[in-house]
Amino acid sequence: LLTGAAALAISTTIAGAQTIGFSQIGSESGWRAAETTLTKQQAEERGIDLKFSDAQQKQENQIAAVRSFVAQGVDAILLAPVVATGWDAVLEEAKEAEIPVVLLDRQVDSSDDLYLTAVGSDLVHEGSVAGQWLVDTVAGEECRVVELQGTTGSSPAIDRKTGFEQAIADHGNIEIVRSQTGDFTRSRGKEVMESFLQAENGGADICALYAHNDDMAVGAIQAIKEAGLKPGEDILVVSIDAVPDIFLAMAAGEANATVELTPNMAGPAFDALKAYMTDGTMPEKFIQTESKLYTQADDPQGEYDRRKGLGY
């Protein structure tokens, strides 16, 4: 990473407008769309020239975008990596060009000297908060769980699964009976839930749904209703993100709990980059955002109203 003369050269750049490339995954969820909106807003407020690239869920598009940012000689790169593996070569190229990379919301398996910092939540912890909520809620009753996983190979899908499994590990009454990817989308969440319902006695054998994001939960809630069951009562629903629509579902009694993931990853990322480019201040390798649990007891209608307009 930058030292001495290179750091000084960069600090001169920020006297003018900074140019920062942002390789975004796509727009698979309400949370992702909000992250994009907030990143653009934060850049505009700071006078940053943001070069935005939407990868439409494809890692090869993200690699091409990062290479193009390097070729253009941007001052820094934000990367929300769709999957965890396969980044070494392109991160090396950015490093060789002395362009700092900040990871947003998802992690990579590469060595941490290939990026400046990562802004995100503790994804394993999020899964374990969701799992602990279920442990406490079913209080020893038998509970057969179906799981909607996020995008295969993505760090949130891997870590949220791990965290949930850790939380239920010592509770033999809770068992994950079906688990499949819903790709973090509402439509796939609905489709996969339909197949779970069919396979589980029309849903009668399912006690709870754990979805790795709220959008899949919202799709699944629709499937549960269409199957003639009451989501939130016949089948408990716990998920992650805290997007406005899950609060509407909670207000209607159709979802039970969600774990918040802030979509404002760019604010801390730009702050870290500014400090680094101004005087070489090295940020922590991981800038952690909060993971707060919300349930039906936490004024879901108020939370919906509060969030609407905050980038969502």
For ligand AHR, the binding residues (CB under 6 A) are 28-29, 31-32, 105-106, 156, 184, 213, 215, 240-241, 261
Q: Least distance in Å: CB of 109 to ligand AHR? A: 15
Nearer to ligand AHR, 213 or 256 (CB): 213
Q: What angle do the packed helices 186-199 and 214-226 form, to 10 degrees?
A: 50
Nearer to ligand AHR, 32 or 161 (CB): 32
Q: Tokens 């799709």 sit at which residue?
A: 219
Nearer to ligand AHR, 241 or 245 (CB): 241
Q: Least distance in Å: CB of 127 to ligand AHR? A: 11
Q: Least distance in Å: CB of 138 to ligand AHR? A: 24
Cα–Cα dist 260/167, whole Å: 18
- Cβ contact 119:102 at 8 Å: yes
Q: Least distance in Å: CB of 83 to ligand AHR? A: 11
Q: How far is CA 157 from the centre of its chain?
A: 9
- Cβ contact 96:86 at 8 Å: no
Q: Which two tokens stand for residue 110?
A: 């590469």
Strand, coil or helix: what is 259?
strand
Nearer to ligand AHR, 106 or 190 (CB): 106
> Which amino acid appears at position 138 of this protein?
V
Nearer to ligand AHR, 32 or 95 (CB): 32
Q: Least distance in Å: CB of 184 to ligand AHR? A: 4
- Cβ contact 157:212 at 8 Å: yes
